[in-house]
Structures are given as structure tokens and as C-alpha cells.
């Protein structure tokens, strides 16, 4: 059974047969890279649903949630705020944004948003081709092309982006308390990256009676739950400017969230993340689908998958889509199993297309650390792989990434050998030597797996809701 969903005993044989058919059709092979992909968390692990009290009618329940500053859909994130294990150069982002804004103006908040008390202005990098955020999305002019570090930051998130913009709240400005109700938000979360702020900017989020406040610091990366009531105040003398990114989130993104610091009703500490380097050839994958299309036929989903992957010149996406539709046509699989098949085929293609890189880390003395954490991943026979789980800022690996962005190693990358050894004891011993040469198969960044993760989440959104864990809510606070 694959991690995306459960595989009932009666269905496992069908799923395995379908996997074998696609494996033969596409020529994919199981690998440590594919195992590493399957070990990453799926998005369902981070959402909870609020149970409807027994005997209450659905309209009453939705009204109760709304009064309590909870989206009437009843789905919330596991924490009000997440601080992701990434750090960005806020000064460099602001420099790129300022260069763009010398030639073009900020957009004022739309009238409908102003009625809700949302007064922030926007400078868009990616926007919907149609009103109401229905998609497809496209980059605005050459703004991203002219902003290599902005592209690097967006690519580091590990997903396909939708609406992306700089958002500004002027001194004395306030975004009134609200929660986001557009169907667009049923599948997406918003990432906030402060590039200019001041100590008197506060962001609040939470249900009535349990609102948490946070000052988002420049250079850090945050996710917040916009399914709950949220508001912003700028009581300082300087404008607050954030880079905001909407995305469904692929497994690599949710892997970042799993290692994040939580701020809110269930706080959790986490290790500081590594700095995102400049990668001049970074590609940003933009949603090239309309959500409604992605919920329709297999051929429509395959077309959306191929159109989005084409931005990375991944033309094999069309072949995968055709093979996937042919395989599931008579396989009698559940929707979760169908989607897991597409995701696995896409990840296998990414693994086949990703070539290992050689990384040499040399210590100045025996006490110096290499600056990363790993977990072992069993391979064939005695062979073991190491999956990079954390990169410490200022460590040797982080310094390597800054000097060699074209060969950077990210969380999720798989170390296949150290100083020529590929068994666990020998690899660990090699890491203790003064010079360690690592052969690393980079994580897919970006790739077909990220596209498949994102478009398939849209496809099975209504079904996936039943998989979310149940969270208790103090209904009396909502009365």
C-alpha cells in the first residue's frame, strides 16, 4: 500500500497489478530515491476536521463555525502558525522587489476585499488568467524572469504555486479580522515571507477565545491557517511588505511543514533552517489548470498535469498521463489508489532523470561539524542510503550550497555513498573523517512528482476530507 491512502486487502492486488502494468509501460524501477519520496508526508496529515454535533443540522453547524471564526467547511490546519525550517535573504528579495516597483505601481485592494476590511495593496508576480482565482495561473510579464533570488525562494518551497504577490500594509494600516471563504482556499495554504517589517506589526490567528498573536520576522518563512479568523495591524512607522505564495503543497513542501516550529494552541520548537541560496536557473512551476477541470475526467487531469510540467520541459508527462488513464480505465481502483499510481509514476520519472552529484566537505579541524542530519534508508542487500533530514545554517554543507547552487543539496536528498562506501557503518565512519566526499542524488526540485501531488490533491479533495483526523473545538466559544 502506498502512503497516500490505505489499501484495503481486497484492493491491494488490483493496485499492485496496475503498478506493474505502468512499470512495464514506462520502464520505471524501484529505487532509494523513490523510497525517499514515499517516506515524505502527505497533506492529509496536517489537516483536521471539526465534527458536527449530533442532532445539529448542517446549516446551523456552518453558522456556528462562522460565528466562532472558523471556516464553515470545518477543516483547519493542525496549528495556527508554522515557521518553516528555511531562511531567506530578505534584503535581496527587497532589492529585487524594489527594482520591479520602480517601473510599475502597487494595486489597491479589490472593492470586495475592502468591504471585508482587507486594505493591503498588492504587487503580483503570478495571477489567475480568469477572475475569482479560478485558474489557470500565469507569471505576470517578466517580473519573475528578472528576479533570480525570488525564483530560488519559490522553488525551494517544493510545490506548484498559484497566486503569488508582494503584499503591503502601510503604517497605521489594519487588515480586519476575517477568514477566507473562496473555494480556491479549499485546497491551498498561504506562505508568508516577510521582506520588510517593524517590531510593531502583529499577525493574529485563531478561533474566538483562542486567538494567537505573532510578529513575523524578516527572512523567515511562515504558513498560517487562513481557514481561521486572522487579522494584521501595523502600528509602526514603516510599511510591512511580505512575499505571499499560495500553493496546494507537494510532499516536499509538507516535509518542510513536518519539521516546522509551531506557534499557537499546540506549540512545538524546531531547529533553525538553512539559508536558501541563489540559483540562477531556478524554475518556478505555476498552476496551469482550473480547479474545476482538475476534478473532471482522467484525460482532463492528465492534460492539466502535462501543461503544468511543460514549464520544466518535462515532455514525458504526456506519456505518463496517457499510460495512467489507460491503466486505471478498467482497474476498478479507488480514487486514492488511482492518484497514488500517478504520483508514484511521476516520482519514478523524477528519480530516473536526476543524476547524482559529488560533494566534498573538508573540515578545518576534527571538531568541526559537517552541518546536516540524516536518517538511514535500507537499500538492497547491505547497501544503505542516508536521507538528508536537516541542514544547519553556517555548516559545511550549507556553505557548499551557497558556493555551488547548481549542485546544492536539499532536505530529502539521498546520500548514496561516502568516500566510496555504501554500507551504513562505513558511511558513518567516512563522515567522521577530515574530508568526506558524498555522492548525493538530489531531491526532485522541481519535478513531475510535485505537479502530480498538487493536481491530484485538487482531484480528490472532497474524498480526502474524510481522511482528516478529528479535532475538538470549543463550540461554546462560538455561540
Cβ proximity of 169 and 197 under 8 Å: no
| Alpha carbon of residue 322 to chain centroid | 26
Which whole number is the average pLDDT over 371-392?
A: 77
pTM, two decimals, is 0.80
How far is 471 from 479, CA to CA, in rounded Å?
18
Q: Is it the case that residue 465 has pLDDT exceeding 60? A: no
User: How many Cβ atoms are within 10 Å of 84's Cβ, its own excluded?
Assistant: 21
Task: Share the mean pLDDT of the chain.
Answer: 85
Query: In 3-state terms, what secondary structure has residue 221?
Result: strand
DSSP 118-137: ---EEEEEEEESSGGG-S-E
DSSP 176-199: EEE---SGGGGS-EEEEEEEE--T
Q: What pLDDT is recorded for position 1?
A: 32
Q: H or E stretch including 11?
A: helix 9-26
Taking alpha carbons only, the member of 146, 142, 154, 156 closest to residue 96 is 146
Q: What pLDDT is recorded for position 284?
A: 93
Which DSSP state fits 367? T
Which whole number is the average pLDDT over 105-119?
A: 68
Cβ proximity of 152 and 405 under 8 Å: yes
C-alpha cell belonging to residue 28: 520505471
**Residue 384 main-chain phi, psi, to 5 deg:** -125, 145
How far is 331 from 333, CA to CA, in rounded Å?
6
Q: What pLDDT is recorded for position 379?
A: 57
Q: What pLDDT is recorded for position 133?
A: 84
Which whole number is the average pLDDT over 105-120?
A: 68
% pLDDT > 90, the chain: 45
Kindly list the distances between the CA atom of residue 16 and the CA atoms of 13, 33, 89, 337, 340, in Å, as whole numbers in the listed order: 5, 20, 46, 10, 11
Q: What pLDDT is recorded for position 33?
A: 75
C-alpha cell belonging to residue 341: 499510481
| Alpha carbon of residue 363 to chain centroid | 33
C-alpha cell belonging to residue 23: 512499470
What are the pLDDT digits (tens) for 270-311? 877 778 888 777 889 999 999 888 887 889 899 999 999 998
C-alpha cell belonging to residue 284: 518556478
Amino acid at each position: 500500500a502506498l502512503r497516500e491512502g490505505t489499501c484495503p486487502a481486497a484492493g491491494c492486488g488490483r493496485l499492485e497489478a496496475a503498478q506493474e502494468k505502468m512499470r512495464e509501460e514506462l520502464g520505471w524501477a524501484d529505487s532509494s530515491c523513490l523510497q525517499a519520496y514515499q517516506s515524505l508526508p502527505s497533506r492529509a496529515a496536517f489537516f483536521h476536521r471539526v465534527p458536527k454535533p449530533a442532532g445539529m443540522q448542517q446549516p446551523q453547524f456552518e453558522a456556528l463555525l462562522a460565528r466562532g471564526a472558523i471556516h464553515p467547511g470545518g477543516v483547519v490546519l493542525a496549528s495556527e502558525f508554522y515557521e518553516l525550517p528555511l531562511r531567506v535573504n530578505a534584503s535581496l528579495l527587497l532589492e529585487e522587489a524594489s527594482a520591479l516597483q520602480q517601473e510599475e505601481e502597487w494595486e489597491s485592494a479589490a472593492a470586495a476585499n475592502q468591504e471585508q476590511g482587507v486594505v493591503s495593496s498588492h504587487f503580483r508576480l503570478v495571477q489567475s488568467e480568469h477572475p475569482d482565482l479560478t485558474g489557470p495561473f500565469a507569471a505576470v510579464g517578466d517580473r519573475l524572469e528578472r528576479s533570480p533570488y525570488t525564483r530560488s525562494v519559490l522553488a525551494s518551497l517544493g510545490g506548484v504555486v498559484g497566486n503569488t504577490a508582494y503584499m503591503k500594509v502601510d503604517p497605521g494600516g489594519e487588515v480586519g479580522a476575517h477568514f477566507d471563504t473562496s473555494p480556491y482556499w479549499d485546497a491551498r495554504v498561504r506562505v508568508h515571507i516577510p521582506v520588510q517589517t517593524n517590531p510593531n506589526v502583529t499577525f493574529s490567528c485563531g478561533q474566538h477565545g483562542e486567538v494567537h498573536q505573532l510578529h513575523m520576522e524578516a527572512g523567515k518563512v511562515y504558513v498560517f491557517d487562513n481557514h481561521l479568523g486572522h487579522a494584521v495591524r501595523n502600528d509602526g512607522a514603516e510599511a510591512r511588505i511580505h512575499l505571499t505564495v499560495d500553493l496546494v503543497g507537494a510532499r516536499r513542501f509538507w516535509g518542510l511543514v513536518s519539521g516546522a516550529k509551531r506557534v499557537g494552541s499546540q506549540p512545538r520548537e524546531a531547529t533553525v533552517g538553512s539559508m536558501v541560496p541563489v540559483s540562477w536557473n531556478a524554475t518556478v512551476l505555476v498552476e496551469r489548470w482550473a480547479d474545476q477541470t482538475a476534478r473532471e475526467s482522467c484525460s482532463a487531469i492528465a492534460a492539466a498535469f502535462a501543461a503544468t510540467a511543460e514549464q520544466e520541459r518535462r515532455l514525458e508527462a504526456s506519456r505518463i498521463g496517457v499510460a495512467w488513464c489507460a491503466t486505471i480505465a478498467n482497474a476498478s481502483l479507488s480514487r486514492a489508489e488511482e492518484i497514488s499510481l500517478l504520483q508514484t509514476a511521476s516520482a519514478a520519472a523524477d528519480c530516473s532523470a536526476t543524476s547524482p552529484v559529488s560533494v566534498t566537505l573538508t573540515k578545518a579541524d576534527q571538531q568541526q561539524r559537517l552541518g546536516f542530519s540524516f536518517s538511514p534508508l535500507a537499500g538492497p542487500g547491505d547497501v544503505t542510503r542516508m536521507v538528508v533530514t536537516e541542514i544547519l545554517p553556517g555548516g559545511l554543507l550549507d556553505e557548499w550550497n551557497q558556493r555551488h547552487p547548481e549542485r546544492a543539496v536539499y532536505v530529502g536528498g539521498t546520500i548514496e555513498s561516502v568516500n566510496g562506501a555504501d554500507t551504513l557503518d562505513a558511511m558513518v565512519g567516512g563522515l567522521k573523517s577530515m574530508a568526506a566526499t558524498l555522492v548525493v542524488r538530489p531531491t526532485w526540485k522541481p519535478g513531475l512528482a510535485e505537479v502530480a501531488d498538487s493536481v491530484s490533491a485538487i482531484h480528490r479533495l472532497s474524498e480526502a476530507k474524510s481522511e482528516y483526523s478529528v479535532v475538538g473545538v470549543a463550540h461554546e466559544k462560538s455561540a
